C-alpha cells in the first residue's frame, strides 16, 4: 500500500469558541511509531478522537489507513485498536471476561491467555474492573486495544499514572508492535517516553504543530550544546574562546568548573584539548551534554505551568 497509515491535513476542530486543534497536519508512515507530544490541553486527545471517528473535523482532511474515519467507520473499526485515556469498561466486568468478549468481536483475534500473562493481568483476571488498581485498569485497556490484531493502534496517554514497572511493560508492548509491523500513534506528555519509543515526534501546543522530527533531530537541530570540564582555577577563558570558532562561549561557572557552549563536533573537542596541552592544563571530568527532548519541549511550549 502506498498511502501512509495516518494522514492529517490542516485539521481544525472547535468546541464553541475554543479552538482545540488549529490547522494541524501530520503524517504517520506505516509500521512506525509516532509520538504526539504536548502539554495538557494542547489538542492531543481531540486529534486522536478525530482519527477514531468520535469527532468530525470542522475543516481539514483526516485519512486513516486511506479511509475517512467518519464515513468509513464500519470498515475501519476492526482494523484500528483504540485505548481511551479513561474508562470504557463496565464496572462489574472481569478482565478476562472483557478480553474474551472483545476477542469474539474479531475474526482472528490474539489468543487471550498469553496476552493476560504478558500484561500482568493474571492475578486480577476475575476481579471486577472497579476494584482493579489504576495500573491494572490501564493494562487491561491496552490489552483491549491489541486483542483484535489491528494494523494501527491509537494509544491516548497509555502510561498516565503508572508506576515505573507498568510503564516499562507498556513500552515493551509498543516496541513489540513496531517489531511486528504495526503502526502506533501514542500521545504523551512525558519526554523520556517519546524519546525512548518513537521514530518520530510531533510536538503540539495550543492545537498547532510546533516541531516535527525524530527525537535525535529535535534534540540536535540548532542545539546550543554544552561541554563541561574541571581544571585549575583561573584559566584564561578569553584565550580559549579565541582559539575556538566564532560564537562559542567559554565560562568559568564556579571556581575550576568550566563550560563551553556551542555546536559540538570532534574538531571543537580537539581544539579544546590542544589548547589545554599548550597551556599544560589537565582537564578532568570531561562531559558532553546534549539537549534532552524535555529541554526542547520546554523551549517550544514555554515553561509556564498549565
Partner 1 sequence: MSGASTGSDVGRLLPDLSSAPGAASWSRMVRSQAALEVRLLVRNGEQLLLTVVIPTVLLVLASSVGVVDLGGSHGMTRRIDVVTPGIFGLAVMSTAFTGLAIATGFERRYGVLKRLGASPLPRSGLLAAKALAVLVVETAQVLLLSGVALALGWAPRGSWVALGAAVALLVLGTAAFAALGLLMAGTLKAEVTLAAANLVYLLLLVGGGVLVPLERLPDAVAAGLSLLPSAALGEGLRQALAGQGVAWAALAVLLAWAVGAGALTAKLFRWE
Which one, 108 or 287, has the nearer CB to partner 1?
A: 108
Does residue 122 contact residue 116 with C-beta atoms inside 8 Å?
A: yes
Residue among 148, 207, 215, 262 that touches partner 1 (CB under 8 A)? 148
Residue among 104, 131, 290, 306 that touches partner 1 (CB under 8 A)? 104
Residue 90 within binding range of partner 1, rule CB under 8 A:
yes
* ∠ CA 210-213-216, rounded to 5°: 120
**Within 13 Å and on the Cβ side, how many CA atoms surround 107?**
4
Stretch that binds partner 1, among 73-81, 210-218, 243-251, 289-297 (CB under 8 A): 73-81
Cell matching residue 107: 475474526
* ∠ CA 90-92-97, rounded to 5°: 80
Neighbouring-strand partners of residue 89: none
Question: How many C-beta neighbours within 10 Å does residue 282 have?
Answer: 10
Residue 114 within binding range of partner 1, rule CB under 8 A:
yes
Residue among 1, 16, 180, 253 that touches partner 1 (CB under 8 A)? 180
Does residue 163 contact residue 135 with C-beta atoms inside 8 Å?
A: yes
Which one, 179 or 303, has the nearer CB to partner 1?
A: 179
Residue among 20, 36, 99, 102 that touches partner 1 (CB under 8 A)? 102
Residue 87 within binding range of partner 1, rule CB under 8 A:
yes
Cell matching residue 129: 474492573
Stretch that binds partner 1, among 100-108, 207-215, 217-225, 297-305 (CB under 8 A): 100-108
**Residue 293: exposure state from Cβ atoms within 10 A (0-12, 13-18, ≥19):** buried
Which one, 91 or 234, has the nearer CB to partner 1?
A: 91
Residue keyed to cell 467507520 = 73
Residue 146 within binding range of partner 1, rule CB under 8 A:
yes
Which one, 30 or 231, has the nearer CB to partner 1?
A: 30
Residue 52 within binding range of partner 1, rule CB under 8 A:
yes
Stretch that binds partner 1, among 10-18, 37-45, 86-94, 157-165 (CB under 8 A): 86-94
Distance CA 16, CA 18 (A): 6
Residue among 105, 270, 282, 288 that touches partner 1 (CB under 8 A)? 105
Residue among 34, 42, 50, 144 that touches partner 1 (CB under 8 A)? 144
Distance CA 173, CA 274 (A): 48
Does residue 149 contact residue 110 with C-beta atoms inside 8 Å?
A: yes
Count of residues making up the chain: 306
Sheet strands (E) in 238-279: 249-254, 257-261
Query: Sign of dihedral through CA atoms 29, 33, 39, 44?
Result: positive
Residue 108 within binding range of partner 1, rule CB under 8 A:
yes
* Shortest separation between residue 110's beta carbon and partner 1, angstroms: 6
Residue 101 within binding range of partner 1, rule CB under 8 A:
yes
Residue 286 within binding range of partner 1, rule CB under 8 A:
no
What residues line the site for partner 1 (CB under 8 A)? 52-54, 74, 77-80, 82, 84, 86-93, 97, 101-102, 104-108, 110-111, 114-115, 117-118, 144, 146, 148-151, 169, 172-173, 175-177, 179-182
Amino acid at each position: 500500500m502506498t498511502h501512509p497509515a495516518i494522514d492529517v491535513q490542516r485539521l481544525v476542530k472547535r468546541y464553541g469558541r475554543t479552538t482545540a486543534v488549529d490547522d494541524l497536519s501530520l503524517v504517520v508512515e506505516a509500521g512506525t511509531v509516532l509520538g504526539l507530544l504536548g502539554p495538557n490541553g494542547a489538542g492531543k486527545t481531540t486529534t486522536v478522537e478525530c482519527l477514531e471517528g468520535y469527532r468530525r473535523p470542522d475543516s481539514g482532511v483526516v485519512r486513516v489507513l486511506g479511509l475517512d474515519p467518519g464515513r468509513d467507520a464500519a470498515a475501519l473499526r476492526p482494523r484500528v485498536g483504540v485505548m481511551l485515556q479513561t474508562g470504557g469498561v463496565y464496572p462489574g466486568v472481569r478482565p478476562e471476561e472483557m478480553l474474551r468478549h472483545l476477542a469474539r468481536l474479531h475474526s482472528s483475534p490474539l489468543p487471550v491467555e498469553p496476552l493476560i500473562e504478558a500484561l500482568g493481568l493474571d492475578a486480577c483476571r476475575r476481579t471486577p474492573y472497579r476494584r482493579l488498581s489504576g495500573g491494572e485498569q490501564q493494562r487491561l485497556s491496552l490489552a483491549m486495544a491489541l486483542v483484535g490484531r489491528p494494523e494501527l493502534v491509537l494509544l491516548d496517554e497509555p502510561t498516565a499514572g503508572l508506576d515505573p514497572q507498568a510503564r516499562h511493560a507498556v513500552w515493551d508492548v509498543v516496541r513489540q508492535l513496531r517489531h511486528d509491523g504495526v503502526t502506533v500513534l501514542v500521545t504523551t506528555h512525558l519526554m523520556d517516553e517519546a524519546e525512548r519509543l518513537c521514530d518520530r515526534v510531533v510536538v503540539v501546543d495550543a492545537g498547532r504543530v510546533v516541531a516535527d522530527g525524530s527525537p535525535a533531530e529535535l534534540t540536535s537541530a540548532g542545539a546550543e550544546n554544552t561541554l563541561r570540564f574541571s581544571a585549575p582555577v583561573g584559566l584564561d577563558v578569553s584565550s580559549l574562546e579565541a582559539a575556538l570558532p566564532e560564537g562559542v562561549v567559554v565560562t568559568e561557572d564556579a571556581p575550576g568548573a568550566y563550560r563551553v557552549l556551542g555546536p559540538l563536533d570532534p574538531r571543537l573537542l580537539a581544539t579544546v584539548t590542544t589548547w589545554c596541552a599548550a597551556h599544560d592544563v589537565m582537564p578532568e571530568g570531561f562531559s558532553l551534554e546534549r539537549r534532552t527532548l524535555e529541554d526542547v519541549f520546554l523551549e517550544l511550549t514555554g515553561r509556564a505551568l498549565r
